[in-house]
Amino acid sequence: MPAAPPTLAATAALARRTQHIEPFRVMELMKRAHALEREGRSIIHLSIGEPDFTAAPAVVSALQRSVAAGATGYTGALGIEVLRRAIATHLADEFAVTVDPGRVVVTAGASAALLLACCALVDPGGEVLMADPSYPCNRHFVSAFDGVPVTIPVGPGARYQLDAATVRRHWGPQTRGVLLASPSNPTGTSIAFDELAALVGVVREHRGFTIVDEIYLGLSYTNLPPRSALALGDDVLVVSSFSKFFHMTGWRLGWLVVPPVWVDTFEKLAQNLFICPSALAQHAALACFEPESMALYRQRRDEFRARRDFIVPALEALGFGVPAKPDGAFYVYLDCSRFTDDSATFASEMLEEAGVAMVPGEDFGSHEPQRHLRLSYATAMPKLREAVSRVQAWLQRRAQ
């Protein structure tokens, strides 16, 4: 009897870069939370960064009209021109920056925008500086193109953000640029605009690139109007998305603003890697900028602010530390060291025993992850109140 043919796993090896990309643990946590729900457990989700609000009614109506009209074919790789113009107008209206619509690249979510940017800018072995803690996928976008993410430990004194002095100190011969997020996931903290300007100046001195993730910029809660890094010059690349402020996570639509001289290169890459973003999502997204939609988003932003103003003191009353109060997004980066020196086990036990899902710090970097949790308050106030009650009871049981 002939021997069975070898399996693919026995004859081929995976690319070495896959070894540098770690699991996205928040998704693994979500799998366990959903399994508990299937068993009949009540779980309060304070883990995943997804608004409980959904797309505005005008957007849903626009989608339905687009389907009926058959607007389902390929679009240009940079996105439909009317949406690119609408995004440029939105940037002018909300953040007082003037952007040529020709610089706007519509993408399949902010993730595709960051992939495009890394594909265009990161050579094998090139180093990209970023904060630790930071959004875990950012370092993997760099690794996907054989670059080297250099994560720099930052603490509450720096509001968990890089500054100009830190970038200057860590810039080395292989450094090619910086990847920032303001406001940030997981901390909800922002870089002061003057400091951001100084940081960009340091990068320019080294002829590097600056990528700024601004997907949460519309969810800023300071008394001053939020300012976009686009105001610092045409050489700054800015990433944004329809997922967070516009509450369209599963629609997978975002954008990237690139320097004018690089548009053709980004178009070439987008043509080859993605062909185009979703046509239906693009046509529907035009309704995001209608006055009634924008009024609704602003009301929802006020609701997120109210949730933050409730949850932060409530957590502190339970004994958690909040070393840097969030000023944007919908996250709180908690110090849980009063209760544990192992936040991963602590989060797992909280899920199993209290029915409350939070994310341990290990997802976000290697700087003291064992003492941190990330909480997402992108859920309704009654659930936040119930979560606080459950965690309080659970902590009391643990202390007995």
Can you read off the two tokens belonging to residue 393? Answer: 């009871």
More reliable by pLDDT, 28 or 112: 112
What is the model's pLDDT at position 344?
Answer: 93
Domains of the chain: 21-54+293-399 (3.90.1150.10), 58-289 (3.40.640.10)
pTM exceeds 0.75, yes or no: yes
Question: How far apart are alpha carbons 211 and 207 in whole angstroms?
Answer: 13
| Amino acid 43: pLDDT | 96
Condensed to tens digits (0 to 9), the pLDDT of residues 64-104 reads 999 999 999 999 999 999 999 999 999 999 999 999 999 99
Query: When comparing pLDDT for 3 and 98, which is higher?
Result: 98
> Tell me: the pLDDT tens digits for 259-294?
999 999 999 999 999 999 999 999 999 999 999 999
